[in-house]
Amino acid sequence: MTSRKPMVDIFSQVIEQQRELGLGELRLDRNAVTTLLPAEPSRKPSRDSLAPTKALTDFCEQINNCTKCRLHEGRNKFVFGVGYPAADVMFVGEGPGHDEDMKGEPFVGRAGQLLDKILAAIKFDRKQIYIANIVKCRPPNNRDPQPDEMSECLPYLKKQIEIINPRFICCLGRVAAQALLGVTTPLGKMRGRFMDFEGRKLMVTYHPAALLRFPQYKRDTWEDVQMLRKEYDEWLAL
Ligand code: URA
Ligand code: URA
């Protein structure tokens, strides 16, 4: 990748983004700098978004009155998902919280604002990727979704993945990763590398809500998402 942008601007941008993410100490690594070079015209132009847009809209209409599990009882809004219907990269969270339930959109509360910063640090934004959750309705008092609730809802997410057909999936937090992969592996053993998920590249990092409580994990998260961006750029260049 080449750029005429002065190095000093690029470094300033890296520093500013690390500050935004709330990273205490400065780190300038090679990946961070290369991924912050001006974005290439983003995705492979091969796939048209019309068919997946219609398929997603139809699917949302089909399922948004779901009453399969008890979570529908407290639901204000069904939180289907948001983003580009033919996204190459999909982020998967756990389930809606209060703000998401009010708005009907994933990651719009405090954790969502941090997610936006994480995305910005790797030059992604909501319009270019897709974001969805394991469960589409808010668990009461923000408790973890229960196994039966997740297993009722998981086919919905799997169908979304099939329609969107992303090359990359990034699971946010242990609960999302374990549910999607069907494993009980601890988060620390899953993050930092790519795994296969039905022919797609899947990685796991910390949940932004966990980062709000434990800022010491921001460093690892920063490295995880840089890894994602690097792999994505390499795939784009193929
Ligand atoms: N946490 C999640 O896992 N998902 C959301 O949509 C919001 C917060
Ligand atoms: N990762 C998570 O997803 N949650 C935690 O509480 C800690 C690490």
Return the best residue to mutate from 174, 178, 191 for the ligand 2 pocket (most ligand atoms within 8 A of CB). 174
Whether residues 96 and 24 share a domain: the answer is no
105 to 26, 102, 181, 193: CA distances (angstroms): 33, 8, 24, 29
- Alpha carbon of 8 to ligand 1 centroid (Å): 36
pLDDT at 131: 98
Residues 194-235 pLDDT 10s: 999 999 999 999 999 999 999 999 999 999 999 999 999 999
Residues 93-102 pLDDT 10s: 999 999 999 9
Residue 172: inside a domain: yes
pLDDT at 9: 75
Domain holding 76, by residue range, is 49-236
pLDDT at 34: 47
232 to 104, 105, 111, 235: CA distances (angstroms): 29, 25, 24, 5
Whether residues 72 and 101 share a domain: the answer is yes
**208 neighbors 107 (Cβ within 8 angstroms):** yes
Residues 169-198 pLDDT 10s: 999 999 999 999 999 999 999 999 999 999
Residue 151: inside a domain: yes
- Alpha carbon of 207 to ligand 2 centroid (Å): 6
Return the best residue to mutate from 171, 214, 221 for the ligand 2 pocket (most ligand atoms within 8 A of CB). 214
Residue 38 confidence class, pLDDT cut points 50, 70, 90 = very low
175 CA: nearest ligand 2 atom = 3
Whether residues 96 and 204 share a domain: the answer is yes
Ligand 1, atom 6: closest residue by C-alpha:
106
pLDDT at 40: 42
Cα–Cα distance for residue pair 69/204, rounded to 1 Å = 26
93 ligand 1 Cβ < 6 A = yes
Say whether 125 sits in a helix, a strand or coil. Answer: coil
Domain count, the chain: 2
- Alpha carbon of 179 to ligand 1 centroid (Å): 14
Read off the tokens for 116. 């936006």
Residue 43: inside a domain: no
Cα–Cα distance for residue pair 193/13, rounded to 1 Å = 26
